[in-house]
């Protein structure tokens, strides 16, 4: 990296850079331009202090694409004695047509080849896709934890290959042992270099595989904006490095009311690097800078633009994880909201949700 990248400047630079040029550029070149353009984009005039409010005429392209959306929230498990046909039937009955596993549970029980075959047959019979293994690891943790987590990710990739999963999801992590705790040096050159080297090692040890290594942006980590996601793939130098896109994880007080632009920027910049999506929503409703999760499609997220962008990805289908809720009732409410908006803008969601 040529220079350190702050979250706000990266985002605003992204907006400005995209507006300024339609010519494809590498992330490095874009980053260089971005650093020259430190400051928020010119929404209310360059002489105005704040650029946190949205422009009056935000571009909202609601043209639906052809990609089919598959909603996911239930957990896939590898527990002995699981009736997979029953499990997948229950997912379909709830309107969910895709699923993922948590790596800790999934890897705790080694899946035999015959069991893998049984699971794949049940998935196909019920038209459910097991697309990924979700790894909440910290690959840049202080040594020796980093090595342990990297090996965990490698194991998850290998298991994903066995199961025919499209991806594993992980994060770059924190310089603290607990990745959920932001370290002041998470945005340093050292943290970036550790992230790149960790992923190079994971790619090397899983070379030849098909499973994508999707990196989820997280505000508290170095990968917390679309530009960093693009740059990370370039620096690692492996096309399997993808984006496990969670838009709300890139939201701070400077862009929470500019979600439509954040969506436009992210999808235009990352495009088919996006391997799959997290669907959440967020509000800023207090004096402090803290943001809160809310039920999907009831917060600041522009769900109409969000869903149409997803549908325009050049994929047959896109798996979308609905998350950060508590009870199944809430997940059904979230699904109801998402399906309602999808229907409004002409985006197709696979499966049928049970009546309320």
Partner 1 sequence: MKRHILMVVGMAYFGLPILAAAPNFSGSWVKDNSKSDPVPNPLMLRETPQARGGGGGGRGGQGGRGGGPMPMVVSQESNSLQVTEPQGGMRKYMLDGKPHSTAMETGVQKAAVTASWQGDMLVVSSTEPYGGMPGNVTAHIKEVWSLSPDGNTLTIATTRTIPAVEKTYKEVYTKK
Residues that bind partner 1 (CB under 8 A): 54, 58, 60, 257, 259-260, 283, 285-287, 290, 292-295, 297-306, 325-326, 330, 333-334, 336-337, 339-341, 344
116 vs 295, which CB is nearer to partner 1? 295
Smallest distance, Å, CB 289 to partner 1?
Answer: 11
CB of 90 to partner 1, least distance (A): 21
The distance of closest approach from Cβ of residue 282 to partner 1 in the complex, given in angstroms and rounded to an integer, is: 10
Residue 145 Ramachandran class (φ > 0 left, ψ -120 to 50 alpha, else beta): alpha
- CA nearest 262: which of 252, 273, 272? 252
Return the structure tokens found at 150.
Answer: 């990297």
Collect all residues with Cβ–Cβ distance below 8 Å to 17 and sequence separation of at least 6. 30, 33, 34, 37
Residue 328 C-beta: closest distance to partner 1, Å: 13
With vertex at residue 308, the alpha carbon angle to CA 307 and CA 313, rounded to the nearest 5 degrees, is 100
- H or E, element range at 313: none
Asked whether 163 and 198 are in contact (CB, 8 A), the reply is no
- How open is the CA angle 13-172-7, to the nearest 5 degrees? 20
Give whichever of 40 and 282 is closer to partner 1, judged by the CB atom: 282
Shortest distance, position 285 Cβ to partner 1, whole Å: 5
Nearer residue to partner 1 within complex by CB, 35 or 293: 293
Tokens of residue 261, six digits: 């632009």
Q: Which of residues 130 and 303 has its CB atom nearest to partner 1 in the complex? A: 303
- For residue 120, give every residue at least 6 positions away whose Cβ sits within 8 Å of its Cβ, in sequence order, or none: 163, 164
If the CB atoms of residues 150 and 335 are measured against partner 1, the closer one turns out to be: 335
- Identify which of residues 196 and 300 has a Cβ nearer to partner 1 in the complex: 300
- Least distance (Å) from partner 1 to the CB of residue 356? 8
Least Cβ distance, residue 294 to partner 1 (angstroms): 5
Report the residue number, 224 or 308, with the smaller CB distance to partner 1.
308
Q: Provide the CB-side half-sphere exposure for 284 (13 A, CA).
A: 16
Q: What is the closest distance, in whole angstroms, from the C-beta atom of residue 96 to partner 1 in the complex? A: 16
Nearest 10 degrees: Cα torsion 331, 333, 334, 335: 90
Strand runs labelled E in the chain: 68-76, 98-102, 129-134, 167-170, 212-215, 241-246, 274-279, 282-283, 292-293, 317-322
Q: Specify the residue, 260 or 273, whose C-beta has the smaller distance to partner 1.
A: 260
Q: How many CB atoms lie within 10 A of CB 121?
A: 12
- R_g over Cα of the chain: 20
């Amino acid at each position: 990296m040529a220079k350190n990248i702050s979250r706000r400047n990266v985002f605003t630079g992204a907006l400005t850079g995209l507006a300024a040029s339609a010519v494809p550029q590498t992330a490095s070149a874009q980053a260089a331009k971005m650093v020259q353009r430190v400051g928020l984009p010119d929404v209310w005039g360059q002489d105005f202090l704040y650029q946190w409010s949205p422009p009056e005429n935000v571009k909202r392209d609601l043209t639906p694409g052809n990609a089919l959306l598959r909603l996911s929230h239930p957990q896939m498990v590898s527990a002995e004695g699981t009736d997979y046909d029953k499990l997948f039937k229950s997912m379909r009955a709830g309107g969910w047509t895709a699923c993922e596993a948590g790596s800790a549970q999934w890897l705790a029980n080694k899946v035999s080849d015959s069991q893998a075959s049984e699971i794949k047959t049940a998935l196909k019979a019920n038209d459910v896709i097991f697309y990924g293994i979700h790894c909440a690891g910290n690959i840049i943790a202080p040594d020796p934890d980093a090595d342990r987590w990297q090996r965990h990710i490698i194991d998850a990739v290998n298991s994903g290959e066995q199961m025919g999963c499209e991806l594993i999801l992980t994060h770059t992590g924190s310089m603290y042992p607990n990745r959920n705790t932001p370290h002041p040096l998470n945005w340093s050159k050292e943290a970036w270099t550790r992230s790149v080297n960790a992923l190079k090692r994971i790619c090397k040890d899983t070379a030849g595989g098909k499973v994508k290594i999707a990196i989820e942006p997280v505000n508290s980590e170095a990968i917390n904006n679309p530009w960093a996601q693009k740059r990370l793939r370039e620096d690692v130098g492996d096309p399997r490095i993808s984006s496990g896109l969670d838009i709300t994880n890139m939201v701070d007080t400077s862009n929470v009311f500019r979600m439509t632009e954040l969506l436009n920027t992210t999808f235009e910049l990352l495009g088919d690097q996006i391997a799959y999506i997290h669907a959440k929503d967020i509000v800023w409703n207090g004096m402090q800078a803290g943001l809160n999760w809310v039920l999907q499609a009831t917060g600041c997220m522009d769900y109409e633009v969000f869903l149409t962008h997803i549908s325009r990805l050049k994929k047959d289908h896109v798996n979308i994880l609905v998350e950060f809720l508590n009870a199944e009732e809430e997940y059904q409410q979230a699904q109801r909201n998402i399906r309602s908006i999808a229907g409004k803008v002409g985006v197709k969601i696979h499966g049928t949700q049970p009546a309320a």
